[in-house]
C-alpha cells in the first residue's frame, strides 16, 4: 500500500461548463480508519449530472462543496482494513467515497456488493443509484400502463437508457430523445426502443414527436429540460404524467434561462409534473435492486458502460458526460 493518497479536489468554482482547471490532483497522507470506520481502495468512480450542483457550493439535496474539498461522488471499491464488523478486508463495497484512490468512511454508510451479482461497476449503474432512479421514477412517479407512450430525454445516458427498457418491460412504447446518430442507433438497435430521434439534427421537434407519438405523450421522463421539454409539453396526452429527474441542459447556465410558459397546457391535459429524488424511495431500495438484478440476469436490461481510465482523468470524464459525449453510464476506472 502506498504511503500517499491521490485525490481530486475542487480548485475553482466552475462558471458555465466546468473546465479541467477547476479541479486539482493532490497528494495527501494515507488515511487511517478509526473506530467503526473502514478503509476502502477505489475501483470505479461514478460521475453523474447531479454532481454539477455540488460544485456551485450551494447545498440543495446534495451538499455543496467548499473549495479545496475532495469531489464527492459514488464509488465502488475493495475493503483494505475494517473496524466495522459488517465489512471485512477483501469485500466489495459501494458508498459516497469521492474522487480519491483511498477513502475512509463509517462502515454503516457502506453497502456490501456481491461480486457474483454482476460486474462490480454495476453497483454504480443498473444495481445502484441510476438503476433505482429509473425504476422508482418511472414506476412510482409516472405509473405507466401497458400500451402507453413513454418519452425519455437524455435517453442514452445511465438513467434514460434504463427508463426506456423498463417501459418496454411494462409493455409501453418507448421513445428516446438523444444527442447523436450513434446514440439513436444504440437506443433502437441495441436497447429495443420503439423510436428515437437526434435532437441536434432535428429542426422541427413538434413534427418529429407527432410522428413518433401519434396519440400524444402519456409519460415523459425528463432528464434534460430546456427546449426539448418545451416541445414535449406541447405534445402531452390527457392525464399525462411527467417525472422531472434531471435538467442537465440548465446545470451550466450562468444566468437562469427563460422559456415559454405552459401551465395552461397542464389544465387542458389534466396533467401532472412531479420532481423527485431517488432518496424518497430509500425504504424500498432492496425491492428495487432485487427486481433490477432479475431483469439484468434475464438480459431484459441491456447496458453499456463508458469507462475512462485513471483517477487523474475523472474531471475529463465528468466534463464529457456533461457535454453528452458518453453512451450509457460514464465511469472512471481507478487502480488495478
Grid coordinates given for 175: 421513445
Grid coordinates given for 93: 463495497
68 binds a copy of itself (CB under 8 A): no
| Least distance (Å) between residue 257 CB and a copy of itself | 5
Mask for 209-228, x = binds a copy of itself (CB under 8 A): -------------x--xx--
Range 73-92, binding a copy of itself (CB under 8 A): none
Q: Which of 39, 178, 212, 245 binds a copy of itself (CB under 8 A)?
A: 245
**Binding region for a copy of itself (CB under 8 A) out of 9-17, 35-43, 254-262, 303-311:** 254-262
Long-range contacts of 31-34 (CB under 8 A, 24+ apart): 31/5, 31/102, 31/103, 31/104, 32/104, 33/81, 33/82, 33/83, 33/104, 34/83, 34/104
Residue nearer to a copy of itself on the CB measure, 79 or 217: 217
60 binds a copy of itself (CB under 8 A): yes
Spatial separation of the C-alpha atoms in residues 125 and 280, rounded to whole Å: 18
| Least distance (Å) between residue 74 CB and a copy of itself | 18
28 binds a copy of itself (CB under 8 A): no
**Binding region for a copy of itself (CB under 8 A) out of 66-74, 87-95, 178-186, 253-261:** 253-261
**Binding region for a copy of itself (CB under 8 A) out of 88-96, 106-114, 158-166, 270-278:** 270-278
Residue nearer to a copy of itself on the CB measure, 161 or 247: 247
Grid coordinates given for 37: 470506520
Decide: helix, strand or coil at residue 18.
coil
Strand ranges inside 147-207, DSSP E? 149-153, 173-178, 195-198
| Least distance (Å) between residue 132 CB and a copy of itself | 15
- Count how many Cα atoms sit within 13 Å of the Cα of residue 81 in the half-sphere of its side chain: 12
Range 277-316, binding a copy of itself (CB under 8 A): 277, 280
Q: Which of 330, 251, 225, 320 is nearest to 53 (CA)?
A: 251
| Least distance (Å) between residue 264 CB and a copy of itself | 5
| Least distance (Å) between residue 288 CB and a copy of itself | 17
| Least distance (Å) between residue 242 CB and a copy of itself | 9
56 binds a copy of itself (CB under 8 A): no
270 binds a copy of itself (CB under 8 A): yes
Residue nearer to a copy of itself on the CB measure, 101 or 222: 222
Residue nearer to a copy of itself on the CB measure, 214 or 260: 260
Decide: helix, strand or coil at residue 149.
strand
Mask for 164-203, x = binds a copy of itself (CB under 8 A): ----------------------------------------
Residue partners of 11: CB distance under 8 A and separation at least 6: 21, 22, 23, 24, 67, 68
Helix segments in 87-204, DSSP class H: 129-136, 158-169, 181-185
143 binds a copy of itself (CB under 8 A): no
- Count how many Cα atoms sit within 13 Å of the Cα of residue 334 in the half-sphere of its side chain: 31
Long-range contacts of 16-20 (CB under 8 A, 24+ apart): 16/252, 16/253, 16/254, 17/252, 17/319, 17/322, 17/323, 18/52, 18/55, 18/252, 18/315, 18/318, 18/319, 18/322, 19/319, 20/315, 20/316, 20/319
273 binds a copy of itself (CB under 8 A): yes
Beta-bridged to residue 103, according to DSSP, are 40
Residues lying near a copy of itself in the complex (CB under 8 A) are found at: 60-61, 222, 225-226, 229, 244-247, 250, 256-261, 263-277, 280
Amino acid at each position: 500500500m502506498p504511503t500517499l493518497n491521490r485525490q481530486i479536489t475542487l480548485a475553482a468554482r466552475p462558471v458555465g461548463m466546468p473546465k479541467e482547471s477547476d479541479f486539482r490532483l493532490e497528494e495527501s497522507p494515507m488515511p487511517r480508519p478509526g473506530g467503526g470506520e473502514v478503509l476502502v481502495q477505489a475501483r470505479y468512480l461514478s460521475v453523474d449530472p447531479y454532481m454539477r450542483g455540488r460544485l456551485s457550493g450551494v447545498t440543495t439535496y446534495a451538499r455543496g462543496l467548499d473549495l479545496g474539498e475532495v469531489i464527492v461522488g459514488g464509488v465502488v471499491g475493495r475493503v483494505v482494513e475494517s473496524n466495522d464488523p459488517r465489512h471485512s478486508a477483501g469485500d466489495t463495497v459501494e458508498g459516497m467515497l469521492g474522487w480519491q484512490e483511498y477513502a475512509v468512511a463509517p462502515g454503516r454508510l457502506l453497502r456490501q456488493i456481491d461480486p457474483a451479482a454482476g460486474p462490480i461497476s454495476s453497483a454504480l449503474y443498473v444495481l445502484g443509484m441510476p438503476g433505482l432512479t429509473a425504476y422508482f421514477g418511472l414506476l412510482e412517479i409516472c405509473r405507466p400502463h401497458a400500451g402507453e407512450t413513454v418519452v425519455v430525454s437524455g435517453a442514452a445516458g445511465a438513467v434514460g437508457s434504463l427508463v426506456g427498457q423498463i417501459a418496454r418491460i411494462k409493455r409501453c412504447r418507448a421513445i428516446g430523445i438523444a444527442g447523436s446518430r450513434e446514440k439513436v442507433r444504440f437506443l433502437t438497435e441495441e436497447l429495443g426502443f420503439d423510436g428515437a430521434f437526434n435532437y441536434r439534427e432535428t429542426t422541427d421537434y413538434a413534427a418529429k414527436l407527432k410522428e413518433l407519438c401519434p396519440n400524444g405523450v402519456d409519460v415523459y421522463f425528463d432528464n434534460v429540460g430546456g427546449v426539448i421539454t418545451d416541445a414535449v409539453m406541447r405534445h402531452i396526452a390527457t392525464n399525462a404524467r411527467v417525472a422531472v429527474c434531471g435538467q442537465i441542459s440548465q446545470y451550466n447556465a450562468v444566468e437562469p434561462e427563460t422559456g415559454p410558459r405552459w401551465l395552461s397546457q397542464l389544465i387542458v391535459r389534466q396533467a401532472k409534473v412531479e420532481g423527485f429524488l431517488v432518496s424518497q424511495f430509500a425504504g424500498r431500495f432492496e425491492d428495487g435492486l432485487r427486481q433490477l438484478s432479475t431483469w439484468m440476469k434475464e438480459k431484459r436490461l441491456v447496458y453499456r458502460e463508458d469507462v475512462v481510465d485513471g483517477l487523474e482523468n475523472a474531471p475529463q470524464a465528468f466534463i464529457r458526460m456533461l457535454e453528452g459525449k458518453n453512451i450509457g453510464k460514464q465511469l472512471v476506472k481507478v487502480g488495478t
